[in-house]
Structure 1
Amino acid sequence: MSEMTSNPLQFKALHGLQKSDQVCPKHHVNMVYMAGHKPFCLVCSRESIDKKDEERAKRMKTRFERFHTIEVLKRDSILDDDDLKQATFKNFEPNSEEAKRNLGLARHIAGEYLDPKTKYNTVLTGLPGRGKSHLALSMLKAVNKHSQVPMACLFVSVNKLMGLIRSSFGYPDSKYTEASMIELCANADLLVLDDLGSEASFKKQTSEASEFVQRVLFGILNERRRTIITTNLQSNQLADIYNPKLLSRMYKGVNGHIIKFTEATPDKREVDF
């Protein structure tokens, strides 16, 4: 804070102040003036400076809170499909009764996540192309928009996350190091891990997830209680990929919070040749 702000009486230009016969109607003290200028109240001036400082501090605090909460979703999310960025509940188009029910369930669960005390994971599972990722991102956007307590929501494609971390090997200054990515994901108030299992299905020799992948996922999920997971796989298939300790972290509180798509919902991305 400047010398003038911390103590206006020490500002050199004020040394020539003269006492006025006019009295401040608010503070009942004599005003002061400089030659050629209107009289003013020193107490009012002090209050005005304090108010501006307080407003500036509030703006800085709001900016800081937005940077670490609301802006996280847009700034730090890792998507493998840019078209998904536009996803909302409003533009989700159900193409079956099952999809309608799942939309309603996703809205309901998002409403429960508005309360920071809500501690359970959600799994969206089923066949590809049914809208699981669309609903998951819509849930985050709804929480960001409607939560009275600002929350850091984050959407992360698991397969792309692993690729970014691998690209940081040998580059300790990279923003995508294993430690920094685990910290980013672990600290989110509400996290989506998208397309879980795809990082293992791309391997030719085996469908089992690598030790590296399981280590990263365990680091993220171990302390979390609020995670939304999307996967094309069923529970028995996930059991073939991940070790039981990791699965237990994934399944925290998921009973009653599973959104499942079946063949009853057509593939939205299906193309006829």
Structure 2
Amino acid sequence: MQNVSNKINDYWFNRRVDEKCEIHGCNLYKVDFPEEQLICWKCLSETVETRKKNEGVEFSKIIKKRKSKDVLKRDSILTDYDLKAANFNNFKPNNDETTEALNKARNIAGEYLVKDNKFNTLITGVPGRGKSHLAMSILKAVNDYSDEPQSCLFISTDELFRRIKESFNYADNKYSEGNMTRLLTKVDLLVLDDLGSESSMNRDKAASDFVQRTLFGILNARKRTIITTNLNAIELSNMYNDKLVSRMEKGIQGHIIKFTDKTEDYRK
């Protein structure tokens, strides 16, 4: 073993030249692979370490993005499981209103790709026109194409409150008010789907204190939320208090998509 080591040392000693490295001031060595050139071992070592560090950073980004992308599939709460397949490509506009809605949703998704863009989006109108489809499509676009990893979450509001209420009898239930509030406030982009369905079919009746308190806790801590609702502005004001409505309306100027009776009910 000692002989091998001596031969290696002799090999490199014979390849050392008088020329010095301009950075480190040490002797250079002549090598023939991949082509004849002079190298500095210290420079080479630093290059290798830098490459390892960069590869480690890239790997960390990949892991972080993978974890962020998983949130949408793992933690979303859906009542319509057809929405799992929803995206911009399979949203089929059938008139000027739906074409405009699709184009606007695409533009909004593009804005949300920049994590620092903070605004809410309101998608309103009569049932069955594609509000939830477009909301999910925005999430998927951000989930798939954002350069900086973003966690996205789709929540059926009615089902959310049903699960929270069921958790009252189980202290360690994952759907406790505290757990869900923490999850919904931390994700980068949240959809609250079918807002208003959690309260009452009577649109002139105010939502319960519990519902309003929970929604306020979520929306007050957020700056990037997509809300879909069948309610119009007056009905929202009747159902929720002014402070809560003002939290819903953060930055929605230019980010409202509205469906009317001009568009047929897709479910029919």
State the TM-score bracket (shorter-chain normalisation).
Answer: 0.7 to 0.9
In structure 1, what is the equivalent of residue 6 of structure 2?
19
- Counterpart of 2:130 in structure 1 is 131
Between the aligned partners of 1:122 and 1:254, the Cα distance in structure 2 is: 5
Paired residues for 1:59-98 under 5 Å: 61-62=60-61, 64-98=63-97
Match of 2:223 in 1: 225
The answer to whether the 8 A contact 1:189-1:226 is kept is yes
Q: In the alignment, what sits opposite 1:260?
A: 258
AA paired with 1:226? R
Q: C-alpha separation between the residues in 2 aligned to 1:67 and 1:157?
A: 24
**Structure 2 runs not aligned, ≥5 long:** 17-26, 30-40
Asked if 2 retains the 8 angstrom alpha-carbon contact of 1:124 and 1:260, the reply is: yes
- Count of aligned pairs: 244
SS of 2:175's partner is: coil
SS state at 1:154 partner: strand
Aligned twin of 1:181:
180
Alignment of 1:227-246 (within 5 A): 227-246=225-244
Taking the aligned partners of 1:196 and 1:89, their CA distance within structure 2 comes to: 22
Deviation per residue, 1:102-138 (Å, 9 max, x gap): 1111111111111222121110000000000000000
CA contact (8 A) 1:96 1:266 kept: no
| Pair 107,54 (structure 1): closer, same or farther in 2 beyond 3 Å | same
AA of the residue aligned to 1:245:
K
Show structure 1 runs of 4+ deviating over 4 A.
14-17, 24-29, 46-60
Contact 1:70 1:153 in 2 (8 A): yes
Task: Classify 1:145/1:169 alpha carbon distance in 2 versus 1 (closer, same or farther; 3 Å).
Answer: same
Question: 3-state DSSP class of the match of 1:198?
Answer: coil
CA-CA distance at 1:22 after TM superposition:
2.9
Asked if 2 retains the 8 angstrom alpha-carbon contact of 1:84 and 1:134, the reply is yes
In 2, Cα distance between equivalents of 1:55 and 1:17: 34
How far off is 1:211 after superposition?
1.4
Contact 1:121–1:254 (8 Å) recurs in 2: yes
Q: Choose 48-57 or 168-177, whichever is displaced more.
A: 48-57
User: Partner of 2:98: helix, strand, or coil?
Assistant: helix
After superposition, the CA RMSD in angstroms is 3.1
User: TM-score scaled to structure 2, two decimals?
Assistant: 0.80
Instruction: Evaluate the alpha carbon distance shift between residue 53 and residue 199 of structure 1 in structure 2; reply closer, same or farther with a 3 A threshold.
Output: same
SS in 1 for 2:212: helix
Aligned pairs (5 A) from 1:48-63: 54=53, 57-58=56-57, 61-62=60-61
- Aligned ranges 1:134-153 → 2 under 5 Å: 134-153=133-152
Compute the TM-score of the two structures, normalised by the length of structure 1: 0.78
Deviations 1:23-56 (A, max 9, x none): 2979979xxxxxxxxxxxx99xx99996897588
Question: SS at the partner of 2:262?
Answer: coil
Give the Cα separation in 2 of the matches to 1:176 and 1:249. 23
Deviates further, 71-80 or 188-197: 71-80
CA 60–218 in structure 1, closer or farther in 2 if over 3 Å, else same: same
Residue in 2 that maps onto 1:9: none
CA positional deviation for 1:241:
1.0
Unpaired runs of 5+ residues, structure 1, are 1-13, 30-41
Q: Give the alignment of 1:164-175 within 5 angstroms.
A: 164-175=163-174
What is the rounded CA distance, in whole Å, between the counterparts of 1:155 and 1:194 in structure 2? 7
- For residues 110 and 69 of structure 2, the distance between their equivalents in structure 1, rounded to whole angstroms, comes to 17
What is the deviation of 1:203?
A: 7.6
State the alpha-carbon separation in 1 of the partners of residues 134 and 172 from structure 2: 35
CA distance in 1, matches of 2:202, 2:176: 22
